A and B are shown apart, each in its own frame.
Chain A
Amino acid sequence: MPDIETIERVKEIDVDKYKYGFETIIESDTAPKGLSEEVIRFISAKKEEPEWMLEQRLDAYARWQKMDEPDWAKVSYPKIDFQDIYFYSAPKGQTGPKSLDEVDPELLRTYEKLGIPLKEQELLAGVRKHDEPSTLDEDAGPSYASGKVAVDAVFDSVSVVTTFKKELAKSGVIFCSISEAIREHPDLVKKYLFSVVPQGDNYYAALNSAVFTDGSFVFIPEGVRCPMELSTYFRINAENTGQFERTLIIAEKGSYVSYLEGCTAPMRDDNQLHAAVVELVAMEDAEIKYSTVQNWYPGDKDGKGGIYNFVTKRADCRGDNSKVSWTQVETGSAVTWKYPSCILRGDNSVGEFYSIAISNGYQQVDSGTKMIHLGKNTSSRIISKGIAAGNSDNTYRGLVTTHKKAKGARNFTQCDSLLIGDQCGAHTVPYIESKTRTATFEHEATTSKISDDMMFYCQSRGLDEEEAVALVVNGFVRDVLQQLPMEFMAETQKLIGISLEGSVG
């Protein structure tokens, strides 16, 4: 009986075999457990921050204390004990290595295990051939400039190594850790940090504003097309460490940047909290493309463990004709709460959101976007593909709204859900607010399963059940996959296959 086979396979569901589950043992330089003004002062001092930054943090902390944890998302998890979390943990002796040679070899091995070693990354990106010298050396020549990926690797809370920095600097691009930016470029940081996501924006953003330890800072000067894809790999490692990343990207007039963010996490039992904030600012004619592949530990087959991922991502299309495009592939985390948004303030500005969210096991995903149309002739496009399997719940939650003055605003939304198995749930909660006659909004949503006809067709041509499912699912998400930069596409296709293994229903 095929049904019984299926049940057997579901039992062996893949979440238990998390490919990236291992731990690296490195001594941590850790702040005392829990959250208090002292801890915030400790973090700020550790980061050698100026006084104004500390004040902002303390202000955020004061706001956070007055806020309630949001409960409107369709996720449930035990109450988080914020006094049982380490808010700062830095791999010892890793404060600012100059090159890969200075990096703890243990870290490099971790990346290797993840399948994303920095040097391998060069090869993937076609930066050098096997017999060529590594361009990670600081004197990389300009002849290698095209098709490169600059990596700002984040290991726990401290930026471990930043590559290609020198070359980027030649075009005036600043790409460094946010801590460094606070020290080196205080004017820029002062001007833009908290300008898109203010300290008191929401519960998790306030928490992040108080305790953020690291993240990336990108500044693209006027008229510059960033010569390479910028990329960050996030890792959560030390036990009981919250990860509070803060990313700020500023694209000046007429500039372009593509930023990639990818993450995996080691296997463990304790739930881990991740509350990141990403702020994007696009000035006139600027374009930012932000891509994420999120593959944190989703918990084991019984729903034990896994990462809590509460993220605030927001882009401000401040200038006319600016454009921001969010692309995300969400396959990991036990609980995801994430709504990358665009404030379309400039006339003719464009916001895009492309999302693939796959949930399996006992994962809970509540994700979507907000498109806030303020300027004239602004347009937005939302393509969301949710795939639920196992015992998971997968929710799309989105808002599209126009201001009265947003004449000629346009939105197109398509959210499709695919259910695999009869113990999962797929939900769609879109909010649409149209406040002017000339705005045109279109919203479409469908939910279905992989039809028996499709399966029969594929299987009668010699594909086995899993291959057939992978084929159909890859077709289902194709619209979004195509939005990913080349570097991520191959990786993501594999990831989709891995995430859905054993879930045929």
Chain B
Amino acid sequence: MTALADVVAFACLLAGAFLCLTAGLGLVRFPDVLSRMHAGTKPQVVGVLLVMVGAAIRLGGWSNAWMLLLVAAFQLLTAPVSAHLISRVAYRRRHVRRDLLLVDEFRGAGHQDDGYRGDEPGDAPPEDPGSHPGG
């Protein structure tokens, strides 16, 4: 019985560590901030959850389990918020690879420049208002 629990815990820890690794890889390989934030939230959160499950099985005891549950809950609550804030700032400072976007519905609404192609430096001057095709 303990052998089985150990195998399950082992699998959870390994899978979690692997997902965290892919999150790190995504941070390096993805082309712009918005995509990187995806890597920083989804595989990373699932990875941390799996590591927590593995640790809870391996450590045993309720007091450890409660603590790990708290870690998991706050991970779920905070990861989206920080990712949202960072990507919002990145969008406003034009760190978006527009050539990779299939659709951009945020663009025409007066929120963003039309002429910039994306990934301009953060201190790029504001765009000339005359270049908006729709006025």
Bind each other: no
Question: Residues of B at under 8 Å CB distance from A?
Answer: none
